[in-house]
Structure 1
Amino acid sequence: MDDVLLAGPATDVCLRLPEPVERGALRRLVADAQARLAETGLRPGGAVALRLPPSLSYVVHLLAVWRSGGQAVLLDHRLTDHEVDRALERLHPQVVVAPVRAGGGALRVFVDVTAGLSAYSDRSAGSPHAVVQLSSGSTGPSKVIGRTAEDLVAEVRRYTEIDGVARPGERIILLPSMVHVLGLVGGLLYGLHARVELVPPERLSGDAVLAAIAAQDSPATVLGVPFHIGLLASTRPPAPLPQFKRMTTGGELVPAAVAQAFADRHGVPLGNMYGMTEVGVIGTDLYGRHRPSITPAPGIEVREVDGELLVSCPASPYVGLSDPTRWADGWLRTRDAGTVDPVTGLVTVRGRLDSQVSVGGLKVDLTEVEATVAALPGVAAAVVVYDNGITAYVQPDGPLTEDALDKQLAERLAGYKRPRTLHLLDQLPRTTTGKLVRATEALRAATP
């Protein structure tokens, strides 16, 4: 781990929170945390559950677990006690690290945390993985996913071969959570390895992100998810920002209107990444040249089988689960619909595979319907599902009625494609990573 993540001159600044954290200081903090983990009961081959918000303490303890030869179980700090207890009972870590004090407001991206360590069990980790994560759960219950040290190292090195990522001497303005794969590997691990300075903005606001870009002269890449694109699209820079080189987004497909609003506002490339917790980055289009298509990342093979995208994956990534409908013979079924161009190799993601439904014998792509609804004036976000008929859950952006919405849709969609039921919600449910929840039961529960 030291060679991949912690090597380099001691005086190199690797994090700015906003005070600079030099590489030598980070190494000392990791060594101290490693000693505390051992005192609390961590042994080589054991697991540590990290239930910490984004913070220097999170980074230090994550690296200390790996340096100790342990498995890191990453639990989003926003999970409920019930969800955490279920995860702990299943994964039986030797040590749990959780905050005993946290400073800063709710909108702080990184917070000041004092971590408490407690012994939990004396059992070894149940799998050989270096990290265990829970999937976002946007379409159903979260899956427990493990990745080996070799897999993580391979992905970090894969990033170094991708055209358009931040390079040594540059900065990443880090917005996504480091508990999940984009922020963890594309932000933290790649940044440490490539000697790219990681700069979380002080707060999750458009003004704070632009202030973080302006704070130094070195080139800056903003790493985020579609929610953050909308945030920046609605924020006007107070002055020109020549340091702002690009924004890269992962997570969901970016609506065309949002991408255009961002481009009009900032005039920098909006890159797209496609990946999964199970395998990390799958493909990229970091200059926005092929939107919505992507180029497979180096070392990744993608193929299309019956309209579904399959990704090369040597071993099953699932912990305690053998499901041939998800992984078999070195291939992971993404459950995403898409195509692979036989000439260029470009991959086009069409949305969830289960978005194809039949209405009166006619095929309807719910992704198309959802994109149409989301693009309407007065709509901030939308989710379209099939629930005894096409059903749209809509979060308005200002005054909006179901009748007005239905009239607009009648002008844009054929009758058989139009939602039979419309629900207006003050706030659509989202996962902890900011993705819109598409599980029908959760959407029903959120409806007044």
Structure 2
Amino acid sequence: MRTAAVAGWPTFETPEDVERIEAVPLADRDLPATTYQVVRRAAVQWPERVAVSVMPDAARWREAVSLTYGELLDGVDRVANALVRRGVTPTTPVAIVAPNCLQLVPAMLGVQAAGVAVPLNGGLSAEHLATLLERAGVRHAVVASPDLDGGIWDKLSGLAAAGHLDHLFLLDPTDDTRSTVATLEGVDGVAVEYLADAAAAEQPGHDDPHTAEDIAAVFHTGGTTGIPKLAAHTHANQVIDAWLIAADSTADTSGEPATMLGALPLFHVNALHVTMLAPMLKGQRVVWAGPLGYRDPALYGEIWKLVEHYSVATMSAVPTVYAVLAGCPVDADISSLRFAVVGASALPPAVRSAFEDRTGVPLLEGYGLTEGTCASARSFVTDPRPGSVGKRLPYQQLRVVDVAPDGSWTDVPAGGVGTLLIGGPTVFAGYVTGRGDDGFVLDHLGKVRDGWLDTGDLARIDDGFLYLTGRAKDLIIRGGHNIDPAAIEDALRAHPAVADAAAVGRPDPRAGEVPVAYVTVVADMQTSAVDLEEFVAASSLEPAARPKSVTIIDALPVTDVGKPYKLALRADAARRAIEDALADVAGVADVVGLVADGSVRVVVTVGADADVDAVGARLDEFALASEVVVP
């Protein structure tokens, strides 16, 4: 017999709370069915509370423009109704390509209320964007106006002129400046209008056409390793994961609702779930740090002042952000900041120590991925576990398995390392591989089996806590021996001068590949590659894992959302390997390591009098895509 729905929030502050929360079935938790119902419920409960405050840019953080929950719902209704009037149905994909701004918040939610949101990174190449638009069947797009982001406007207007889009809805800057009216003159069949103008002509009130199992949004994964995949999320995926994030009561304070700082781009799942939907479920306020967010250098000189001004209780960012913040003098009262959340990549111990020592604010790690909607594990202020990304969120399940050559899975005993699997209500609906008459064509492409998502991450689980040890695809295979790069990276991070480290495989004609490492150095500290090589050689690393070289660089490469980008390092390692192999061959002018469609390629340029056969013979010794160019 079904029990009555349970309203209100459970206590979620300790690891033991996970099982207590699960004592109530998820179906009895009284969750909204769709993201639109999240907004409507918030507007009914807290119409006068501030939902969002958006800065025009980091330098003008005192000039943030705000919307109450009542005003936000009004905006969402009008956007949704304008889209419906222009032919958008519950299965119509609408691309969203714009930096964070005030109008983007009701636009994102309004698109999900009318159709399906397809947020895309405006930094992708026009070719990649065109492929993703075609794959998802997108003909409508909400895009940055020239006043908001001229680069995005040029790219998307060009795609529209080339026949990839039929309708462009433009977003204005947060300060509502509109210096010119953008058009596509001389281009037949493309409508261009400002979304604010279209929405202003509509009335509030919207009939939600979606169910919990309908697709709410499609997010691209990665974006720097060839054409990204498009992962589809249902409304249930998004609402449930946002509710699990919001259930964390650590940031709750008596009286006024907590305020969160949002500065990641809304084309990323963390921004949508952690700093948009989750706060709305509790009637909290999010302060958005302008269109560039954490990529705005001006933010770092002002961040502690704005934390004090807005009484920010928590924030979410990536390790590279906290590494910078650790060097920012605390020039304001930040006692409101109860904790800060970090994810997307491993948190170097040196970064944790430096940030916490500087601010006194605990850093809590979390774990998730786009195919799991967003978050699947979180840490606790009350029970810190160094090196762990936390315990699973309620109603989600974690397993660690060995993957056999035939693809079969065998569970690994507790504490053993294997491939991490996720099960539960946040596993995505599938990748969008095309579009048919009834909507998206979805395929899990082998990532999901019997409801379990293969994350591709290597991990172990001890006492219920999750410890990540690397990516399965990042394993360095030296003569058939698997080497976990995380062990090399941890050994190097133990050096007091090392801020962060990344280990990759360097192509080798005999062993297939050998480990090499790249490091960044703590500011104002001195070390050398030789010193680091000697340091790691004296560590407890097994001999096969000791890196053949250590290279000091200014910064480890990352994606737009702060995830490590090891392909760039592999390309550099491959370049160095080929340069060494060709050192005694005359006529070699240049060696370049490239990343193309998710793989590494080396291009060797030789002079007209070079022995091309000798160069080719050396290259053939490596299991590596390569090309010889004779100008």
TM-score normalised by the shorter chain: which range applies? 0.7 to 0.9
* Residue matched to 1:5: 39
Find the aligned partners of 1:129 and 1:186 in 2 and give their Cα distance: 19
* C-alpha deviation, 1:46, in angstroms: 0.7
Name the SS of the counterpart of 2:99 in structure 1.
coil
Supply the AA of the counterpart residue of 1:10: P
Supply the AA of the counterpart residue of 2:420: L
* Residue matched to 2:245: 159
Structure 1 pair 227/95, CA: closer, same or farther in 2 (3 Å)? Answer: same
Is the 8 Å Cα contact of residues 308 and 332 (structure 2) preserved in structure 1?
no
Which of the numbers 100, 111, 126 marks the counterpart of 1:54?
Answer: 100
* Residue matched to 2:234: 148
* Residue matched to 1:353: 472
Residue 319 in 1 paired to residue 432 in 2?
Answer: yes
Aligned length: 436
* Residue matched to 1:416: 544
* C-alpha deviation, 1:71, in angstroms: 0.5
Which of the numbers 455, 458, 467 marks the counterpart of 1:337?
Answer: 458
Which of the numbers 96, 99, 105 marks the counterpart of 2:141?
Answer: 96
Mark the structure with the bigger radius of gyration.
Answer: 2
* Residue matched to 1:38: 84
Which of the numbers 188, 193, 196 marks the counterpart of 2:276?
Answer: 188
Find the aligned partners of 2:318 and 2:137 in 1 and give their Cα distance: 32
* Residue matched to 1:23: 69
* C-alpha deviation, 1:139, in angstroms: 6.6
> How many percent of aligned residue pairs carry the same amino acid?
25
Name the SS of the counterpart of 2:94 in structure 1.
strand
Name the SS of the counterpart of 1:445 in structure 2.
strand
Which of the numbers 275, 286, 289 marks the counterpart of 2:384?
Answer: 289
* C-alpha deviation, 1:229, in angstroms: 1.3
Find the aligned partners of 2:519 and 2:484 in 1 and give their Cα distance: 18
Name the SS of the counterpart of 1:176 in structure 2.
coil
Residue 389 in 1 paired to residue 514 in 2?
Answer: yes
* Residue matched to 2:222: 136
> Could you state the TM-score of these two structures normalised by the residue count of structure 2?
0.63
Q: Which moved more, 1:206-215 or 1:266-275?
A: 206-215
**Structure 1, residues 408-438: CA drift from partner, whole Å, max 9, x if none?**
4334455432222444545443212111202
* C-alpha deviation, 1:12, in angstroms: 1.1
Residue 198 in 1 paired to residue 286 in 2?
Answer: yes
Is the 8 Å Cα contact of residues 96 and 117 (structure 1) preserved in structure 2?
no
Structure 1 pair 78/362, CA: closer, same or farther in 2 (3 Å)? Answer: closer
Once the two structures are superposed, the pairs formed by residues 230-379 of structure 1 within 5 Å of their partners are 230-279=323-372, 280-287=374-381, 289-293=384-388, 294-306=390-402, 307-313=418-424, 316-320=429-433, 322=443, 325-341=446-462, 344-359=463-478, 364-374=483-493, 376=495, 379=498
**Structure 1, residues 118-148: CA drift from partner, whole Å, max 9, x if none?**
9879xxxxx9521001112577752210100
* C-alpha deviation, 1:240, in angstroms: 3.6
**Structure 1, residues 93-132: CA drift from partner, whole Å, max 9, x if none?**
13111112344999xxx965779899879xxxxx952100
Supply the AA of the counterpart residue of 2:327: S
Structure 1 pair 335/185, CA: closer, same or farther in 2 (3 Å)? Answer: same
Find the aligned partners of 1:82 and 1:104 in 2 and give their Cα distance: 19
Find the aligned partners of 2:227 and 2:334 in 1 and give their Cα distance: 42
Which of the numbers 315, 321, 329 marks the counterpart of 1:228?
Answer: 321
**Structure 1, residues 211-269: CA drift from partner, whole Å, max 9, x if none?**
221003x4511111111211221112114421111101121110111111111111122
Structure 1 pair 117/36, CA: closer, same or farther in 2 (3 Å)? Answer: farther
Structure 1 pair 418/94, CA: closer, same or farther in 2 (3 Å)? Answer: same
> Could you state the TM-score of these two structures normalised by the residue count of structure 1?
0.86
Name the SS of the counterpart of 2:103 in structure 1.
helix
Q: Which moved more, 1:319-328 or 1:295-304?
A: 319-328
Q: Which moved more, 1:392-401 or 1:89-98?
A: 392-401
Supply the AA of the counterpart residue of 1:337: L
* Residue matched to 1:124: none
Supply the AA of the counterpart residue of 1:159: I
Find the aligned partners of 1:423 and 1:155 in 2 and give their Cα distance: 40
* Residue matched to 2:588: none
* C-alpha deviation, 1:332, in angstroms: 0.3
Name the SS of the counterpart of 1:42 in structure 2.
coil
* Residue matched to 1:445: 594
Structure 1 pair 165/145, CA: closer, same or farther in 2 (3 Å)? Answer: farther
| Unaligned segments of structure 1, at least 5 residues | 122-126
Find the aligned partners of 1:292 and 1:424 in 2 and give their Cα distance: 24
Name the SS of the counterpart of 1:215 in structure 2.
helix
* Residue matched to 2:159: none
| Unaligned segments of structure 2, at least 5 residues | 1-34, 55-63, 152-172, 192-212, 403-417, 434-441, 507-512, 573-592, 596-601, 604-631
Find the aligned partners of 1:208 and 1:104 in 2 and give their Cα distance: 23
Is the 8 Å Cα contact of residues 419 and 472 (structure 2) preserved in structure 1?
yes
Find the aligned partners of 1:24 and 1:171 in 2 and give their Cα distance: 18
